[in-house]
Amino acid sequence: MTGNGRVRVAVTGIGLVCPLGIGREEAWAAALAGRSGAGLITLFDASELPVRMACEVPGFEPGEFMDRKAARRMDRYAQLAVAAARLAVEDAALPIDRDGAGIGAVIANGGSGAGSREEQHRVMLERGPDRVSPFAIPLSVANMGAGQVSIELGLRGPVTATCTACAAGTDAIGTAVDIIRRGDARAMLAGGADALITPYFVAGFDAMRVLSRRNDDPAGAARPFDRDRDGFLVGESGAVMVLEPLEAARARGAEVLFEVAGYGSSNDAHHLTDPDPSGVPQALAVTAALRDAGVAPEQVAHVNAHGGGSRPGDPSEVRVLRAALGEEHAARVAVSATKSMHGHCMAATGALEAALAGLAARDGAVPPTVNLAEVDPECVGVDHVAREARRLDVPVAVSTSYGLGGHNAALVLTRAGEGG
């Protein structure tokens, strides 16, 4: 427990199924090496779209993680969720009793089975309503990732879903931390999954003018904080952590990767898609997370930034950090935007980036913002980790997420044993 008697929450396992690789260490090694997960779209024929590139999960075979019949009854996002959850449980060596009591899950989603919905809508239009699959609705609801994780792993504790757009994965981890602190579960699986590399979503995001159109250079397309940035690449991922009370994790001999020390959220109350340009409402989430962790702003060494590569968003994010951490200290904080490598994985993004920030604390190594050749003058004011990873002592890291609808969320991750 902390000095105030509150339960400390440990991360004992991580499951990543993402454009950087499958498995914790494979993805982490790729992030430190600055390897891009971008490429031309192979999941569907994108030849007629203005944007023909994305960040797909390489070599993902659902049948390696679940029964093939069960996989056919899941949307791709639910398959990613189950795969990541299974990897996380294996990574944590977490024992799950036959009755599944005391273990739950919070799994974020934003696209609600996008691929399945698009396919079944096409079936209805082309072949008639009587040919729509009886699984059409179960395949395409936002809570089904959480439900399938529970079914596949036998979890009968608190199981729910978060749906706050790009902040949902971060909110899922924060929600799970609260469940652990209340004593309502002995372990929680927390994270997110999304699979929005579909014709409708790629076209829709492009219509919003938030996607890069550098089709001739997918690996160099995503350029957060760069003067020449022109948007993000759509990504897909499943990213799940195993959370346990620190004392219980140590008692069972689990390896503690890092701790989730604090969580905060807020809303801009400003605009459907654009962030509040002042950064003040977003800073409320960061400040709340630091307060929850009992951490002073001056203790933060690294931030894995939302870094979506939008013209209005990136400068606003620098203002957030300067407001929350203080201008003098923010200038010394190592800031990375790993979306430059794995793309924007929507509801999974916050969980993926929190995992990378926590591993930075564990290993004392900070991944880079690749493709950051010239910092936009509007994005000056923090220490950008450009192009190459950096060795750095990281006792405290912060991961931030900002979503459509003005949803903001932040997590404070600390090196194992660093807390009070």
Q: Which of 119, 309, 348 is nearest to 224 (CA)?
A: 309
Asked if residues 280 and 286 have their Cβ atoms less than 8 Å apart, the reply is no
Distance CA 186, CA 374 (A): 47
Listed in order, strand segments (DSSP E) in 252-364 are: 258-267, 302-304, 334-336
Radius of gyration of the chain (CA): 20
Asked if residues 397 and 302 have their Cβ atoms less than 8 Å apart, the reply is yes
Helices (H), ranges, 208-303 = 246-251, 280-293
Cβ contacts of residue 170 below 8 Å, gap of 6+? 263, 350, 351, 354, 399, 400, 401, 409, 410, 411
Could you give the residue numbers annotated as active site? 166, 306, 344
Distance CA 254, CA 244 (A): 10
Number of H helices, E strands in the chain: 14, 16
Per the listing, tokens 């759509």 go with 234
Per the listing, tokens 């620098």 go with 318
Distance CA 330, CA 234 (A): 29
User: Phi, psi (5° rounding) for residue 6?
Assistant: -85, 145
Greatest alpha-carbon pair distance for the chain in Å reads 64
Asked if residues 201 and 355 have their Cβ atoms less than 8 Å apart, the reply is no
Burial 111-138 (b: 16+ CB within 10 A, else e): bbbbbbbbbbeeeeeeeeeeeeeeebeb
Q: Helix 313-325 to helix 280-293 angle, to the nearest 10 degrees?
A: 40
DSSP 188: E
